[in-house]
Structure 1
């Protein structure tokens, strides 16, 4: 097993992925993230059912998306290097954002996920990306609806309204919310910029 995982508490898998992910996060001192991941999994299933997509895959992606929360920001770049993840300058500046890529690797290594659609959705759930799949957008939107902060997100009603008739519009609603604040953001991840430009054309 990769040395990046040496300091983590890793239990034998039970066969119940939801329970295993929850237990992993709690055992590694991330109980709030465990609750968040469960909520995002449930919301991703709901959105997938709305759009007649694979609800099981969406739910699994939701459960997994933030498992890298076990690593604090100040070690994420080193962990990324240890896992062979390409780190771009924006991620060096703002390591929080690389957690999506770390979660993807952890899903493969620790939970033996082999479904590339699930892995890719986990790997871009914070920024989205160019040519994003329906599953990518489902997880992206579910994560923004069930955000991990106190209270309701300021964009919630707008996203839910858009989601009633267009997944693309719901995804764009959040990216546009960020885009309007781009001068105040620490970085603009190039994947986010790509997604913004693509979705703007589509919607």
Structure 2
């Protein structure tokens, strides 16, 4: 969660928490939150820490709360495996997202995205991509390169009938990725 100039992060259990919809009750400490979930640790990295070049070993970051713009500093956290940008007011995702090559989970649900950068196709470690409840009408064909993707959330987007019909079939994610890759090959020639 971005609160002022503070980035709030999670180090573990993010996928399980996101799927179950469960949150944690936390009590405020000086620079930490103590969770009732012993598998999760939360810490803060202030703007001063970032400016001083402090490095993190965080595995996941969650930034929520009607955020409209993302700090360019975010793209320096190349070690991240999970990034939660859901429940914001993002209208675009910068192409620098492709620099986060270790991402396995990316949640962009409940934003105002109308398009996605082709660089999403560079996130070949991605296993879970949640794009639910945006304004997406088309998807970049480069998504077809995401061979490790197991979960693709597209509900609540005004996508074309061809994409939705493939997506809604049994094994739809796999079929849609194949369709995207086939079209990428055709249009890149």
Using the size of structure 1 for normalisation, the TM-score is: 0.30
Report 1 or 2 for greater relative contact order, CA contacts < 8 Å, sequence distance ≥ 6.
1
Instruction: Flag the structure with higher helix content.
Output: 1
Higher strand share: 2
Q: Greater CA radius of gyration, 1 or 2?
A: 2
